[in-house]
Copies of this chain bind each other. A is one copy, B any other.
Amino acid sequence: MSILAVGSIAFDTIKTPYGEVSDIVGGSLTYFALAASFFTDVNLVAVVGEDFGDEQMALFRGRCIDLQGLARVSGKTFRWGGAYSHNLNSRETLFTELNVFEGFRPDLPESYRKADLVFLGNMHPLLQQSVLDQVKHKRLVGMDSMNLWIETTPNELRDVLGRVDVMKIDDSEARDLAGVYNLRKAAGAIQALGPQTLIATRGSHGAMLFTRSDIFSAPAYPLEDERDPTGAGDCFAGGLFGYLAQCKTLDDAEFRRAMIFGSVMGSFCVEDYGTARIERLTLDEIHARYRALKQMTDFDDLTA
């Protein structure tokens, strides 16, 4: 079982009230792949520039991440800078330099064209479409998106939505996409556009799962020390889809477990800058936090 995952790899500069890091390896696909690789093999499709060397590549090595689909082209790697407010609950983008990502045209290695699970990271809907066009066989397709595409490429986004099974998106963006504030109604409106399943993430408030037959409320792990929220949503997606990729059946019970693994991976991500916490994470820690979330949400039935 494996995931084909497409998205951005970047150099990030991050300022928080607690400190600052410059030019660390980030980008949504980096977080997604690291998180998913705890559960399944990840075939990675992305582009980097000449400034992305062995030192950076080392981040992906020794993990279940295949780099055949990582194109290294002339030019500079995508760069992004962001600054967080006092309590880490709002973020200002300081700069975005697309660089080589601007010319990114995903070209899948032949061995990637049969995929169990395809994850379309947050990028232009036409790029997401082109990836789907190249995959001959897939069991499940998941996607992410953001306000930029909801606002600037609504028709292209709708075309992608018609071809995917699971959309994972921030709750505020789900509301914007659906054009309705109530999250249950928004989920219904998005499901009507194609995806059987909507997953709306709510930051430190957890996440909601809406399938055709199920609604599930996943808790967030209440951290005592939050350092840097960058990549938390991507780690959530990595844990979620990574777990799903290795499931024999994809029923509501498995989706619920996947939501918890998503929440677990997102929570770890926030504990340190960039990918640092995920890099030193162990499977034992992941399982311990899964159990902690079970313990923290369990209550008796009325009949108990």
Contact among B182, B216, B301 with A224 in the assembled complex (CB-CB below 8 Å)? B182
A112 smallest CB distance to B (angstroms): 31
A157-186: CB near B (< 8 Å → 1, else 0) gives 000000000000000000000000111110
Instruction: Give how many A residues have a beta carbon under 8 Å from the other chain's beta carbons.
Output: 38
| Complex contacts, A217 vs chain B, CB 8 Å | 206, 219-220, 222, 296-297
Contact code string A280-304 (vs B, CB < 8 Å = 1, else 0) = 0000000100110010111111100
Contacts of A259 in B (CB 8 A): 299
Interface presence of A98 (CB below 8 A): no
The chain B residue with its CB closest to the CB of A298 is B256
**Copy total for this chain:** 2
Partner of A184, one of B223, B256, B290: B223
Min CB distance A257 to B, Å, is 6
Note all chain B residues with C-beta closer than 8 A to A205: 202, 205-206
Query: Are B216 and A297 in contact (CB-based, < 8 A)?
Result: yes
Q: Give bound CA distance, A206 to B206, whole Å.
A: 10
Interface pair B299/A256, CB less than 8 Å apart = yes
A208 at the B interface (CB under 8 A): yes
* Residue in contact with A225 in the complex, picked from B182, B294, B300, CB distance below 8 Å: B182
| Residue from B86, B202, B297 in contact with A297 in the complex, judged by beta carbons closer than 8 Å | B297
A38 CB → nearest B CB, Å: 14
By a CB distance below 8 angstroms, the chain B residues around A226 are 182
B297 and A302 form a contact (CB under 8 A): no
Given B181, B225, B296, which contacts A215 in the complex, CB threshold below 8 Å? B296
| Complex interface: chain B residues within 8 A of A220 (CB) | 217
Complex interface bits, A199-231 against B, C-beta within 8 A gives 1, otherwise 0: 000100110100000011111101111100000
Known contacts A206-B205, A217-B219, A219-B217; A224/B185 CB under 8 A: yes
Please indicate the chain B residues that have their CB under 8 angstroms from the CB of A67 in the complex: none
List the B side residues contacting A298 at CB < 8 Å: 256
Give CA–CA (A37, B83) in the complex, Å.
49
Pair A299/B222 contact, Cβ less than 8 Å: no
Using a CB–CB cutoff of 8 Å, the interface residues on chain A facing chain B are 86-87, 181-185, 202, 205-206, 208, 215-220, 222-226, 253, 256-257, 259-260, 287, 290-291, 294, 296-302
Q: 6 shortest A-B CB distances, which residue pairs?
A: A205-B205, A217-B219, A256-B299, A87-B181, A184-B224, A184-B222
List 5 interface pairs A-B (beta carbons < 8 Å), by A numbering.
Answer: A182-B225, A184-B222, A185-B224, A217-B220, A259-B299
